[in-house]
């Protein structure tokens, strides 16, 4: 995983793998296991929220300067259907980029079916 893409950290420890992060887009893979399930036996919503937030942060980071760090200021996650153990594909794309705020969208798919759609606003912090 490439630290410059903003991918290291919590999502990496969870098991997310960055496939690409380039030109305002990002793609992650994740293998959901039994330990990622909630008491109902479906994929925990917090895991899915972490995946979309991470992918969108990487997409934003891939479209900004090295000194700009995206910070999530708003995140809306719509859960469309329950997930199960198995591979997940997460895609994210920058939709609108301003001087200080960037809007991004992400989707999570499993077996070719949408599980989650998310929209987030990121503030750009300058280090």
**CATH number where 33 lies:** 3.10.129.10
pLDDT at 24: 96
Residues of the chain with pLDDT under 50: 1-7
Range of the domain at 84: 3-126
Rounded Cα distance, 25 and 6, in Å = 13
Number of domains the chain contains: 1
Tell me what pLDDT residue 49 has.
Answer: 96
This prediction's pTM? 0.89
15-32 CB burial, b ≥16 within 10 A, e <16: ebebeebeebbbbbebeb
For residue 12, the model assigns a pLDDT of 79
């Amino acid at each position: 995983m490439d630290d410059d893409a903003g991918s290291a950290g919590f999502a990496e420890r969870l098991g997310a793998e960055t496939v690409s992060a380039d030109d305002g887009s990002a793609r992650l893979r994740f293998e959901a296991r039994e330990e990622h399930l909630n008491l109902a036996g479906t994929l925990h919503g917090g895991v899915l929220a972490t995946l979309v937030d991470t992918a969108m942060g990487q997409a934003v980071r891939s479209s900004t300067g090295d000194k700009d760090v995206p910070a999530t200021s708003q995140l809306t996650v719509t859960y469309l259907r329950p997930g199960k153990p198995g591979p997940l594909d997460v895609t994210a794309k920058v939709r609108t980029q301003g001087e200080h705020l960037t809007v991004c969208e992400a989707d999570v798919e499993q077996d070719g079916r949408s599980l989650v759609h998310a929209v987030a606003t990121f503030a750009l912090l300058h280090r």
